[in-house]
Structure 1
Amino acid sequence: MAGGERIFVQAIRRYCAEHDIAVDVRASGWLIAMRKGARCRFAFGYDIGLNSAIAHRLANDKSATAEALEMAGVPCVPHHLFLNPSMGVHVTGADWRQGMLALLAQNPQGVVVKPNEGTSGRAVFKATNSDDLDRAVTEIFSSGLGLVIAPYVEIEDEVRVIVLDGKPMIVYRKERPSVVGDGMQTLRELASAAGQDRRLRELAARELNAIVPKGERRLLTWRHNLDAGAKPILLDEGEVRADCAKLAIDAANFIGITFASIDVVRVDGIWRVLEINSGVMMEGLGRLHPGLVQATYDAALDRIFETAH
């Protein structure tokens, strides 16, 4: 097995080895062919091919996901779509920037600007004024055709649910990096001692240089992404796990998706769907719970090859 392979690729290799399935890994693991007899199945990116084309496209389009869930009455965070003006005024309209500024004005706490497609929290920006907004828009439109703007909300908790065939396979919360004050050190000093210096870029200088009172916890980022330093914490059976799983399953059932990772967030005490991802990435979780991640990919691959029989 090649060193440095993604956990996703390793899981497929293990499954295929145990089930006498020929596997051919190409493009540094982003394209995988799995052959059993005359049948061939593909995995691309983090997608193993269980979902229909329309469910896949809906899930990978944040704006379409929000619109569809709103139709179903499933609580969700709204995402407003804006297309790149390079596509022409007949596509984007002449007042696209005015529309963005209107959303900013409606949300004095700020907005979140991110690509309409994509995962892992890359190129995601918080904007509280027009200069922030313009920088975010310029950055995203430099490499993409669409972006979405969502209201910035104070997320009390974020949970990811991995759903397969209407069942919650894995449910975990994302615990953001934080430090606890000792009454003597500044936030910057506490974060540095904890090896979290790179999490401080989005905090104001007055926050960083203030002494944190003893026993008080301070979050180091507003982002819940594992790539931003959050840790996956498996949820035990209970009300929170049940509520999150039900909401995720309702969302998955409505758009007709079979295998997906669904992020739900608690805002003002109410759970809402944030995003649905058709490609199920479990790299961070797999480093902590490899057996659970392998079992989940195994169950999904079983569905693929049951269909192929």
Structure 2
Amino acid sequence: MPQLLDKKIEILQIKHIRGPNMWCWVEVLEAWIDIGELEDYPSDKIPGFYDRLVNKLPSLVEHRCSYEERGGFLKRVEEGTWPVHIMEHLTLELQGLAGFAGGFGRARETTNRGIYKLIVASPHEQVTRKAIEYARQLLLSLIQDQPFDLEPCIEDLRELIDDLCLGPSTREIVNAGVKQSIPSIRLSSGNLVQLGYGALQKRIWTAETAQTGAIAETISRDKDLTKSLLSTVGVPIPEGELVDNPEHAWEVAQSIGLPVVVKPQDGNHGRGVFTNLQTESEIIAAYKVAVEEGSGVLVEKFIEGDEHRLLVVGDHLVAAAKGEECKVIGDGLHTILELIDRQINSDPRRGSSEDFPLNPVRIDSIAHLELQSQGFEPESIPALGRAVLIQRNGNVAFDVTDLVHPSVAKKVVLAAKVVGLDIAGVDLVAKDISKPMEEQGAAIVEVNAGPGLLMHIKPAKGKPREVGRAIIEHLFPDNSVGRIPVIGVCGSSSAKEVAHLCAYLLKLANHYVGLSSEKGLYFNQHPVQRMNSSEWDSGRRTLMNPMVTAAVIQATPKGIINEGLPYDLCQVGVITSVDLQETFPEDSIVEERQLFSVHRTQIDALIPEKGIAVLNADEAISAEIAEINPGKEIIFFTLNHQNTLIEKHRSEGKSTIVGNPEAIHLYKGQKIVYSIPLADVAYFQANKSSKNLLEIVSAIATLWAIEIPLETIEAGLEAYSPESLEV
């Protein structure tokens, strides 16, 4: 299509919005896209576009779009829609094909013709930036009827997700926390995550927690010490001892009886572990590999049976998986290496990333020794029908949780406790996990800290187990959620002053207070940093401080537009005022409805059915914002005792506050429950302005919402001045 070959789509800028925002509740990227002359070419005006799109990405049929039905988006394309709307769906689909399913998306016009905002949910900023660029390239190729190789793009996104996003074990725990309304903060580029806020936080690193002791982890790495402790309390272990050299290894093997296992004293992930060794040459060869993997070598009696991994969380066994042998069957034509690829690695459950329950089989030193014991080399061609063992216990990924005998469960829980681990992966060898260990000569061979969870989350066979939920319930018992009181304050004016006043009064109520405002970051009234960093970063720091028992975080309208809120949910959301004339043309925010969307973000972020909105009844917009309140209650405040919104609220038996130059009255329904005279409040008496009065009234409403004693509030007001903060 010659007339379209010179048309361009240009990405002008990309904004990373990291918290709840005017678009949605999750992290998004907002890209500004210039489609130029393509503004005149909706999809129905491009011959063949629909067919090319469907042929390239048939999975787009699952996108419901505004029709709220399967195929809804494709229906929009057929009827005619604009390029950035199509880019939105392409970006989401590319992310989905790479492993990030679902997600929020929007395409919106700006005040400039041909320039649009593209907003999409982001698993990671770098991933979504790349997905947007690939969507742009793909869209242009479809418009211009040019070839485009999609698979390398999807593979690139997959690799980025694997490298940059949380691993499956950590993600499982975090997602379980989300279901229990526990917030999370990623503390590193790896898998270190904070669950909860402030003083109620817990930390995890994959399946290790802040409760996992350093001594316990050290013990678990020392296999000989672990065995000694287990033996002390009667847990069955294999006979064996540490050895100093290959000859000593052979002597011990003869002493305890063949076959034996040779393994590193402090290795992990099965590296350097050789099983079922029968001869001196095998044992010497195994020693030479094992000694390179750890600080010492163990020789143990070989236990007949299958390898099992049992996951202990707290006082409970929560999941169990079994390993299975990996074999190939000779066909008289292909080498063992070729048979492995044909018969084993072709299994779609096998892959190199953490999302696959089974790993590809490779000929490592252990497998090589196993082959040699059967008279083979990797290049050998087994006879037709000849079974060749490659791995004695391939991947431990076959769920057997429901088969575990109760006495076995008790033994593995005891093993974890003896080592001192709150979360442990216990390796046990048994012929039949449904029978007591003593009946079959079974033994526990290792107790591991930080066990992988993927085998239980996504077993190769059997029922997935909710191990993430078990860990969350262990860290946050009795449905606790790890939330300190978080007060979010927003407004066109007075928000900073209200935030500082609230922080001061909270400290008087014996809270260690984190305060983030336009002035800077404060911990318990002490300035930590002037506001030369972003609002989001400053607010986030208040929630990461393990001393903070209450946080007050101011958000400016500009901050909400550019970064979003630094928390997922807050207990109290305050809107002091809304200036509908305050526009942000540089962000294409110029209409009242757009300003409404910005300010309502503060109320959208309330804890559902528990949070409290504090709204200025003198603002016309407050009644409409109140209608979308997801929390349990609204406290209206006013400087006008004849305010109709206040009167209606009061007639319904709800909480209101009315201020005048003499006193501030707190109502529950029609009844005054408390009055605070202003004669001794120096902050007001200094100039007796309505602005100061508004700040005092809204601060009182905020602290009343979190049940700070009214006597404390009154006493604090009498002592407060803006200089109360060390600035």
Query: Which range, TM-score by smaller chain?
Result: 0.7 to 0.9
Contact 2:330–2:381 (Cα < 8 Å) also in 1: no
Return the offset for 1:44: 3.6
Tell me the SS of whatever aligns to 2:466.
helix
Identity over aligned pairs, percent: 21
The CA RMSD measured in Å over matched residues stands at 3.8
Aligned equivalent of 1:150, options 300, 304, 312: 300
Larger Cα-atom Rg: 2
Tell me the SS of whatever aligns to 1:66.
helix
CA distance in 1 between counterparts of 2:481 and 2:294 reads 36
- Residue 235 (structure 2) pairs with residue 74 (structure 1): yes
- Residue 223 (structure 2) pairs with residue 56 (structure 1): no
Aligned equivalent of 2:422, options 258, 261, 269: 258
- Residue 471 (structure 2) pairs with residue 297 (structure 1): yes
- Residue 455 (structure 2) pairs with residue 284 (structure 1): yes
Contact 2:246–2:283 (Cα < 8 Å) also in 1: no
- Residue 375 (structure 2) pairs with residue 206 (structure 1): yes
Distance 1:191 1:280, change over 3 A: closer
Aligned equivalent of 2:320, options 146, 171, 175: 171
Return the offset for 1:167: 1.8
Q: Deviations over 1:256-285 (max 9, x none)?
A: 443211111126922211111121211233
- 2:602 alignment partner in structure 1: none
TM-score (norm 1): 0.73
Contact 2:309–2:427 (Cα < 8 Å) also in 1: yes
Tell me the SS of whatever aligns to 1:160.
strand
CA distance in 1 between counterparts of 2:307 and 2:454 reads 18
**Which has the bigger relative contact order, CA under 8 A and spacing at least 6?**
1
- Residue 273 (structure 2) pairs with residue 273 (structure 1): no
Tell me the SS of whatever aligns to 2:190.
helix
Distance 1:136 1:42, change over 3 A: farther
Aligned equivalent of 1:220, options 390, 400, 404: 390
- Aligned pairs (5 A) from 1:12-161: 12-18=173-179, 19-29=181-191, 31-44=192-205, 46-81=207-242, 99-106=248-255, 109-125=258-274, 132-133=282-283, 135-142=285-292, 144-151=294-301, 153-161=302-310
CA distance in 1 between counterparts of 2:420 and 2:397 reads 27
Tell me the SS of whatever aligns to 1:28.
coil
Aligned equivalent of 1:230, options 395, 403, 423: 395
CA distance in 2 between counterparts of 1:287 and 1:235 reads 13
Contact 1:164–1:258 (Cα < 8 Å) also in 2: yes
Tell me the SS of whatever aligns to 1:38.
helix
CA distance in 2 between counterparts of 1:290 and 1:132 reads 38
Contact 2:174–2:468 (Cα < 8 Å) also in 1: no
CA distance in 2 between counterparts of 1:58 and 1:148 reads 15
Distance 1:63 1:74, change over 3 A: same
Return the offset for 1:107: 5.3
CA distance in 1 between counterparts of 2:220 and 2:199 reads 31
- Identify the range of structure 1 (250-259 vs 69-78) with the bigger mean alpha-carbon deviation: 250-259
Contact 1:47–1:279 (Cα < 8 Å) also in 2: yes
Distance 1:247 1:68, change over 3 A: same
- 1:85 alignment partner in structure 2: none
Contact 2:267–2:294 (Cα < 8 Å) also in 1: no
Contact 1:50–1:304 (Cα < 8 Å) also in 2: no
- Residue 411 (structure 2) pairs with residue 247 (structure 1): yes
Q: Structure 1 unaligned segments of length 5 or more: list them.
A: 83-94
Contact 2:303–2:441 (Cα < 8 Å) also in 1: no
- Identify the range of structure 1 (241-250 vs 67-76) with the bigger mean alpha-carbon deviation: 241-250
CA distance in 2 between counterparts of 1:186 and 1:165 reads 49
Specify the code of the residue in structure 2 equivalent to 1:273.
I
CA distance in 2 between counterparts of 1:252 and 1:60 reads 13
Return the offset for 1:120: 1.7
Specify the code of the residue in structure 1 equivalent to 2:342.
A
Distance 1:46 1:168, change over 3 A: closer
Contact 1:163–1:262 (Cα < 8 Å) also in 2: yes
Return the offset for 1:185: 7.5
Distance 1:129 1:45, change over 3 A: farther
Return the offset for 1:76: 0.9
CA distance in 2 between counterparts of 1:136 and 1:179 reads 23
Specify the code of the residue in structure 1 equivalent to 2:399.
L
Q: How many residues align?
A: 286
Specify the code of the residue in structure 1 equivalent to 2:391.
T
Specify the code of the residue in structure 1 equivalent to 2:375.
R
TM-score (norm 2): 0.34
Contact 1:161–1:244 (Cα < 8 Å) also in 2: no
Return the offset for 1:23: 1.3
Specify the code of the residue in structure 2 equivalent to 1:25.
L
Tell me the SS of whatever aligns to 1:281.
coil
Specify the code of the residue in structure 2 equivalent to 1:293.
V
Return the offset for 1:303: 4.9
Q: Deviations over 1:86-122 (max 9, x none)?
A: xxxxxxxxx7665434213335635433222243211
CA distance in 2 between counterparts of 1:65 and 1:185 reads 47
CA distance in 2 between counterparts of 1:116 and 1:62 reads 5
